[in-house]
Amino acid sequence: MTVQTPTPYPFPAPLPEQVSFNRAELGIILGLYGRMVAAGEWRDYAMSFLRDMAIFSVFRRSAETPVYRIEKHPRLRLRQGLYALIGMDGQVLRRGHELPAVLHILERKLIRPVD
């Protein structure tokens, strides 16, 4: 009589402990942040990595509420888009599947007329 080993059942991949921005995303976000700091618009930032989303908050002063929040929601990647730009009052300014397209609104604030 031969003994047959049981076939292993594939287990679903475990959910990540927290959602985070990858290196390319942080490069895009911090590049914009550096340009806005140089223009004098922004002064501080904070990052939050939660179980269901990652948040990059931008402040004019460090003791205020964030002026903008850049959020990454992996569960919405097939529907509304992975990224969202949220204003100070909680209004969603832009959603999309690509980060540079979502942040394009903030890039336009850097363009000023020359006196």
d(CA 76, CA 58): 22
Quote the pTM value: 0.75
pLDDT tens digits, one per residue of 102-111? 888 887 766 6
For β-strands 68-72 and 83-86, DSSP reports them as antiparallel
Span 34-59, mean pLDDT? 88
d(CA 47, CA 21): 10
Confidence of residue 55 (pLDDT cuts 50, 70, 90): very high
| Residue spans of alpha helices (H) in 1-115 | 23-38, 99-102, 104-107
Secondary structure (3-state) at 35: helix
106: Cβ–Cβ under 8 A, 6 or more apart, which residues?
32, 36, 68, 85
pLDDT tens digits, one per residue of 61-85? 766 788 889 998 888 777 877 899 9
d(CA 42, CA 88): 13
Average pLDDT, the chain: 82
pLDDT cut 70: percent of the chain above it: 86
